[in-house]
Chain A
């Protein structure tokens, strides 16, 4: 353990990670970032789906858009979500592989998984089985739609959770739904699972007792628009126009000459006056006809048109426009692409950190968006290569000898078979039983 890890609040906490794809691994990523030792279990023929589907995958996920000889170790998504973890490969369908997993669980404080309901129990790793080995263990089980009910066994993905939360209509114009352009509900469910995990750890630290906690991924987005549900439940009219906010008198999205967009929010009278003063004579005069920000709100369509025309006339780029507005106390920002986010110097002060990865080289990866006691919770190690830590973990955590480890590998209980180790796998559209 490094000094950096030792200083973190979850230092000394051991997590057995049975999660896969995005939501679960994003939760264990957060725990690892807070200092926990996270041991990720994959199968030789059932590796994490986020490692990609080989040469049928989107090339944009790979360095120089090149799959390389082992694309499962070179996928940007996997490598973003799995920093600071150790990776072992076990055959959990082999009784000896299952026993190794249970022995590791005995030496762990918390297990996290995101299989379909019932799978963990059938694997022999359900809460009852874990408690037999370690009575004070905690289990965080992420399901798609819950462990029971008519939807329990259905496939579950982030887009569906977005759709079923009500947020797609709130994102759109109230008449037609608009899904968020990425599966936001996945990392949100992951964050919810991380809150459950730290709550369980806090409880264990105080009482010596573990907890079995379920996180229903479909439900995780609901609390994030709780005020809208509350208002609707008492009969209030609830609707948000596209890019508007009922509490913000003037708000909109404006395209500039270079095709980039400016986001603008005018919260109050003071900001309104400052905006009017910023705009040049013609537009400023036109806006000045609305002396109060509430008058501007009442004529929002006309006001937004005036601002849009002004923005389009400006030669300054949107970053400069936003900066100028912010200097004058008006909330504004450029709509940043990943390139602009990556190139932002502010994010290279401890959030985006360079790490060496044996299969892709040296690149920046995002850490946690927080500091503790003045120290950034920055990623300490790149995402693990498949099977990178199997032998070490078994020796360190279970005290197995070199000979025992070698025997397990020869039997196929652990590790990746030779024929899978290097060759590029053919594309597969069938994946293991899973939820997101």
Chain B
């Protein structure tokens, strides 16, 4: 039912994770996605290749046979017909001083400002993992390209018509750090999400969001806290005393199982969630019920494949 773009033919001429992820999204939305084998360079790791290329097929057909062509910045963009919607992802703004820089997920996350937000307990910045910001750049490309479908193109467009800058993607997804800096010259990050904690339980870890009602949290934490404690009643001061609150939450969870803690928090209307490992996510039937994960056969073996993050419920 998710397939709103079944009428489309897409040619993928790049090898970057961003382009291939965009192609995957188009494929999941029902488009026929072909890739040009000649454009593929070094192989990605098996699981990455299998994930990104599932549902696509190799083809040597010319670009004029397609509605959409997506490729790396140095793909051959000449001779593409005006009506074809085209797009690319530049690792760095192609007109900027970093246009020739070598990217990696860590480099992108760091220059764009995301890495700065996440720290270990000893203050080491942590960029994340994988290729998330590159996939998110591919998602921006999908959104822009699909928005252009059915719109009359310019008479002689310059291809690629859409250019997404991966370093800007990182900054675009941050809360409001640049605006805060513009408003008052501060670059603090702790207030840019509600106070949240990971606390150890007897059998796992619990994520606790402490940005909601203090009255509810006080009810949950019981004798450990004073419901009128000025350190925690208002959100502004709660940020300032986040470490103290974190220790109290840890005291509350340390003798409880994750299930017990979740039940108690749900009853008190405090937002919590278990911290899943990958195996927990794979064992969560709701992810399969929602079809964000599906079981597919790849190379003769059944695997879990992630799908689209949206679900078409009705198309009258």
In the complex, how many angstroms separate the beta carbon of A12 from the nearest chain B beta carbon? 9
Tell me if B275 counts as interface (CB < 8 A to partner A).
yes
Binds A, one of B55-63, B69-77, B91-99: B91-99
Q: Are B113 and A341 in contact (CB under 8 A)?
A: yes
**Residues of chain A within 8 A of B29, CB atoms compared:** 199
Q: Are A189 and B110 in contact (CB under 8 A)?
A: no
Q: Are B314 and A212 in contact (CB under 8 A)?
A: yes
CA distance A53 to B131 in the complex (A): 36
**Mask of A182-213 contacts with B, CB within 8 angstroms, 1/0:** 11100111011111101111110110011111
One of A159, A195, A196, A374 near B194 (C-beta < 8 A):
A159
Tell me if B23 counts as interface (CB < 8 A to partner A).
no
Q: Are A331 and B271 in contact (CB under 8 A)?
A: no
CA distance A194 to B146 in the complex (A): 10
In the complex, how many angstroms separate the beta carbon of B17 from the nearest chain A beta carbon? 9
Tell me if A310 counts as interface (CB < 8 A to partner B).
no
One of B169, B213, B277, B280 near A369 (C-beta < 8 A):
B169
In the complex, how many angstroms separate the beta carbon of A349 from the nearest chain B beta carbon? 6
Tell me if A246 counts as interface (CB < 8 A to partner B).
yes
Tell me if A64 counts as interface (CB < 8 A to partner B).
yes
Residue of A nearest to B162 (CB): A372
In the complex, how many angstroms separate the beta carbon of A228 from the nearest chain B beta carbon? 6
**Residues of chain B within 8 A of A352, CB atoms compared:** 178
The listed residue with most B CB atoms (<10 A of its CB), out of A34, A65, A203, is: A203
CA distance A333 to B207 in the complex (A): 31
**Mask of A3-15 contacts with B, CB within 8 angstroms, 1/0:** 0000001100000
**Residues of chain B within 8 A of A369, CB atoms compared:** 137, 140, 164-166, 168-169, 171-172
The listed residue with most B CB atoms (<10 A of its CB), out of A165, A182, A245, A377, is: A182
CA distance A255 to B115 in the complex (A): 14
Q: Are B102 and A326 in contact (CB under 8 A)?
A: yes
Tell me if A222 counts as interface (CB < 8 A to partner B).
yes
One of A183, A196, A226, A349 near B95 (C-beta < 8 A):
A349
Interface positions of B from 66 to 110, Cβ below 8 Å from A: 92-93, 95-98, 100-110
Tell me if B180 counts as interface (CB < 8 A to partner A).
yes
One of A9, A163, A194, A429 near B273 (C-beta < 8 A):
A163
**Residues of chain B within 8 A of A339, CB atoms compared:** 181, 187
Q: Are B171 and A182 in contact (CB under 8 A)?
A: no
**Residues of chain B within 8 A of A159, CB atoms compared:** 193-194, 196, 207, 209, 271, 273
Interface positions of B from 188 to 241, Cβ below 8 Å from A: 188-189, 191-194, 196, 198, 205, 207, 209, 211-215, 233-236, 239
Tell whether A203 pairs with B315 under 8 Å between CB atoms, given A9-B151, A371-B162.
Answer: yes
**Residues of chain B within 8 A of A196, CB atoms compared:** 310
Tell whether A242 pairs with B130 under 8 Å between CB atoms, given A154-B266, A229-B304, A429-B214.
Answer: no
CA distance A346 to B181 in the complex (A): 17
One of A215, A330, A372, A373 near B102 (C-beta < 8 A):
A330
Q: Are B129 and A363 in contact (CB under 8 A)?
A: no
Tell me if A81 counts as interface (CB < 8 A to partner B).
yes
In the complex, how many angstroms separate the beta carbon of A21 from the nearest chain B beta carbon? 11
Q: Are A182 and B175 in contact (CB under 8 A)?
A: yes
Interface size class of B (residues with CB under 8 A): 35 or more
Q: Are B175 and A224 in contact (CB under 8 A)?
A: no
Tell whether A338 pairs with B281 under 8 Å between CB atoms, given A160-B271, A205-B150, A222-B292.
Answer: no
In the complex, how many angstroms separate the beta carbon of B197 from the nearest chain A beta carbon? 8
Q: Are A34 and B147 in contact (CB under 8 A)?
A: yes
**Residues of chain A within 8 A of B126, CB atoms compared:** 171-172, 178, 242-243, 253
Q: How many residue pairs, one in A and one in B, have C-beta atoms under 8 Å apart?
A: 495
Tell me if A98 counts as interface (CB < 8 A to partner B).
no
Tell me if A263 counts as interface (CB < 8 A to partner B).
yes
CA distance A333 to B281 in the complex (A): 33
Q: Are A224 and B136 in contact (CB under 8 A)?
A: yes
In the complex, how many angstroms separate the beta carbon of B95 from the nearest chain A beta carbon? 6
Q: Are B281 and A166 in contact (CB under 8 A)?
A: yes
Tell whether A331 pairs with B103 under 8 Å between CB atoms, given A157-B194, A181-B189, A225-B132.
Answer: yes
In the complex, how many angstroms separate the beta carbon of A319 from the nearest chain B beta carbon? 10
CA distance A65 to B179 in the complex (A): 12
Binds B, one of A88-96, A231-239, A391-399, A407-415: A231-239
Q: Are A59 and B310 in contact (CB under 8 A)?
A: no
Residue of A nearest to B212 (CB): A155
Tell whether A338 pairs with B271 under 8 Å between CB atoms, given A56-B236, A202-B4, A371-B162.
Answer: no
Tell me if B157 counts as interface (CB < 8 A to partner A).
yes
Q: Are B103 and A351 in contact (CB under 8 A)?
A: no
One of A57, A64, A267 near B184 (C-beta < 8 A):
A64
In the complex, how many angstroms separate the beta carbon of B310 from the nearest chain A beta carbon? 4
Q: Are A247 and B274 in contact (CB under 8 A)?
A: no
Tell me if A265 counts as interface (CB < 8 A to partner B).
yes
Q: Are A179 and B235 in contact (CB under 8 A)?
A: no
CA distance A12 to B52 in the complex (A): 34
Tell me if A72 counts as interface (CB < 8 A to partner B).
no
Tell me if A180 counts as interface (CB < 8 A to partner B).
yes
The 5 closest A-B CB pairs, nearest first, are A181-B117, A338-B177, A369-B168, A226-B306, A160-B273
Give 27 CB contacts A-B under 8 Å. Answer: A56-B236, A57-B236, A64-B183, A157-B211, A160-B273, A168-B205, A170-B128, A178-B126, A182-B174, A195-B143, A203-B315, A206-B150, A213-B313, A214-B311, A222-B309, A226-B305, A226-B306, A232-B304, A245-B106, A247-B48, A331-B104, A332-B107, A336-B112, A337-B116, A338-B116, A341-B171, A346-B167
Given contacts A154-B271, A370-B140, 16 further A-B contacts (CB under 8 A): A65-B184, A155-B209, A163-B205, A163-B275, A165-B276, A166-B277, A167-B132, A191-B136, A203-B5, A214-B313, A223-B135, A227-B50, A230-B51, A242-B120, A338-B187, A364-B182
